[in-house]
Chain A
Amino acid sequence: MKSEVILHINGEQRSTVIRQADTLLVVLRHLELTGAKPGCLNGDCGACTVLVNDTPIKSCMMLAIETVGQEITTIEGLHDTAIQRAFVEQFAFQCGYCTPGFVMNAYALTTQKPDADEETIRKWLESNICRCTSYQEIEQAVRSVLVQKKR
Chain B
Amino acid sequence: MIGKSVIRKEAWEKVTGKAKYTLDTVSSGTLHAKLVTSPYAHARIRDIRTEKAYAAPGVRAILTGEGLPLTGEDLRDRPPIAWEKVRYHGEVVAVVVADTLMQAEQAAQLISIIYEPLRVVGSPKEALAEGAPLLHENLATYQKGKYTYPEPGTNIAHRTKIRKGSMEKGWAESDVVVEASFSFSPSDHAAMETRCATAEIRADGTVVITASTQAPFMIKRLIGEYFGEEVGKVVVHTPFVGGAYGGKAPVQLELLAYLAAKAVGGRKVSVWNTREQDMVTSPVHIGMEATIKLGATKDGKITAAEMVFLFDGGAYSDKAIDVTRAAAADCTGPYHINNVWCDSLCVYTNHPYASPFRSFGHCEQAFAIERTIDMLAEKLQMDKLAIRERNAILPGNTTPTQVMLNKSNVGNLPACIARVRELIEWDEWQRIEINSRLVRAKGVSCSWKTSTIDTDASSGAIITFNTDGSINLITGVVEIGTGTKTVLAQILAEKLKMDINDIHVKMDIDTQTTPEHWKTVASRGTFMAGRAVLSAADDAIRQLKAIAACILRVSSEDLEVGYGNVFLRDDPSVYIPIKEIAYGYKYPNGNAIGGQIIGRGHYILRHLTPLDKETGAGKPGPEWTVCSHAVEVEFDKRDYTYRIIKAVSVIDIGKVLNEKAALGQVMGAMSMGLSFASRETFFFDRYERVLNAQFRTYRPLRFGEHPEYIADFVYTPQIDAPYGSRGVGEHGLIGMPAALANALSTAAQVPLNQLPLLPELIWRTKEGWFNDSV
Contacts and interface: CB of A to CB of B under 8 A. Distances in A.
B695 A88 contact: no
Interface in A112-138: 121-123, 125-126, 128-138
Nearest to B666: A134
A84 B672 contact: no
Nearest to B664: A91
A78 interface: yes
Interface string A85-106: 0011111011111111001000
Contact of A97 (B13, B243, B661, B665): B243
Nearest to B191: A131
A63 interface: no
A76 interface: yes
A75 interface: yes
A133 B666 CA distance: 9
A123 B490 CA distance: 38
Contact of B17 (A41, A94, A100): A100
B10 A96 contact: yes
Interface residues of B, number: 56
Interface string B663-705: 1110110111000000000000000000000111000111111
A91 B659 CA distance: 10
B23 interface: yes
Interface in A131-151: 131-139
Contact of A91 (B8, B16, B480): B8
Nearest to B10: A96
B17 A76 contact: yes
Contacts of A44: 275, 694-696
A123 B704 CA distance: 8
Interface in A37-77: 37-42, 44-45, 47, 74-76
Given A37-B192, A134-B667, A129 B14 contact: no
B14 A93 contact: yes
Interface in A8-49: 29, 33-42, 44-45, 47
Given A35-B16, A40-B694, A128 B703 contact: yes
Contact of A47 (B5, B8, B192, B694): B192
A133 B668 contact: yes
B694 A95 contact: no
Nearest to B665: A94
Contacts of A126: 702-705
Q: Is the interface of A mostly helix, strand, loop or mixed?
A: loop
Given A35-B16, A87-B15, A134-B709, A95 B275 contact: no
Contacts of B481: 94-96, 132
B242 A95 contact: yes
B275 A40 contact: yes
A93 B483 CA distance: 10
Given A42-B275, A96-B242, A126-B702, A134 B670 contact: yes
A64 to B, nearest CB: 14
B19 interface: yes
B315 interface: no
Interface residues of A, number: 51
Interface in B1-49: 5, 7-8, 10-21, 23-24
Contacts of A33: 17
B16 A84 contact: yes
B703 A37 contact: no
B192 A136 contact: no
A97 B694 contact: no
B360 interface: no
Contacts of B665: 94
Contacts of B190: 131
B179 interface: no
Residue with the greatest number of chain A CB neighbours at <10 A, chosen from B14, B668, B696 = B14
Given A96-B10, A96-B240, A133 B664 contact: yes
Given A95-B243, A129-B695, A131-B192, A38 B23 contact: yes
Interface string B699-743: 011111110110000000000000000000000000000000000
Contacts of B240: 95-97
A94 B668 contact: yes
A129 B702 contact: yes
B743 to A, nearest CB: 18
A99 B696 contact: no
A133 B18 CA distance: 20
A13 B695 CA distance: 35
Of the candidates A93, A100, A137, the one having the most CB atoms from chain B within 10 angstroms of its own CB is: A93
Contact of A94 (B5, B12, B482): B482
Contacts of B539: none
A49 to B, nearest CB: 11
B156 to A, nearest CB: 33
Contacts of A99: 14-15, 17
A12 B603 CA distance: 51
B271 to A, nearest CB: 14
With a 10 A CB-CB cut-off, give which of A35, A123, A131 has the most chain B CB atoms. Answer: A131
B228 to A, nearest CB: 34
B274 interface: yes
B229 interface: no
Given A42-B694, A131-B243, A88 B7 contact: yes
Contacts of B667: 133-134, 136-137
Given A122-B704, A132-B668, A134-B709, A94 B694 contact: no
A9 B11 CA distance: 24
B660 interface: yes
Nearest to A84: B15
Contacts of A97: 21, 191-193, 240, 242-243
A37 B15 CA distance: 13
Nearest to A142: B703
Contacts of A39: 192-194, 275
A37 B193 CA distance: 8
A47 B10 CA distance: 19
Contacts of A89: 7
Contacts of B701: 135
A91 B5 contact: yes
B695 A96 contact: no
Nearest to A87: B15
Interface centre among A33, A45, A123 (most CB of B within 10 A): A45
Contacts of A38: 23, 194
B241 interface: yes
B652 to A, nearest CB: 20
Nearest to B272: A38
Contacts of B703: 122, 125-126, 128, 130, 135, 138-139
Contacts of B274: 41
Given A40-B695, A103-B15, A129-B192, A94 B275 contact: no
Nearest to B193: A97
A130 B708 CA distance: 16
A65 B542 CA distance: 63
A37 B21 contact: yes
Nearest to B13: A96
Contacts of B708: 136
A95 B241 contact: yes
Contacts of A136: 667, 706, 708-709
Contact of A35 (B10, B18, B194, B672): B18
Contacts of B700: 129, 131
13 contacts: A35-B18, A38-B23, A42-B696, A45-B192, A47-B192, A74-B17, A93-B14, A94-B665, A95-B240, A126-B703, A132-B481, A134-B664, A136-B709
Given A33-B17, A88-B12, A126-B704, 12 more contacts: A40-B275, A75-B17, A93-B14, A94-B481, A95-B243, A96-B15, A96-B242, A123-B704, A132-B243, A132-B481, A133-B671, A136-B709
Interface of A: 29, 33-42, 44-45, 47, 74-76, 78-79, 84, 87-91, 93-100, 103, 121-123, 125-126, 128-139
A-B CB proximity, top 10 nearest: A35-B17, A97-B242, A95-B481, A75-B17, A96-B14, A122-B704, A44-B695, A134-B667, A94-B481, A34-B24
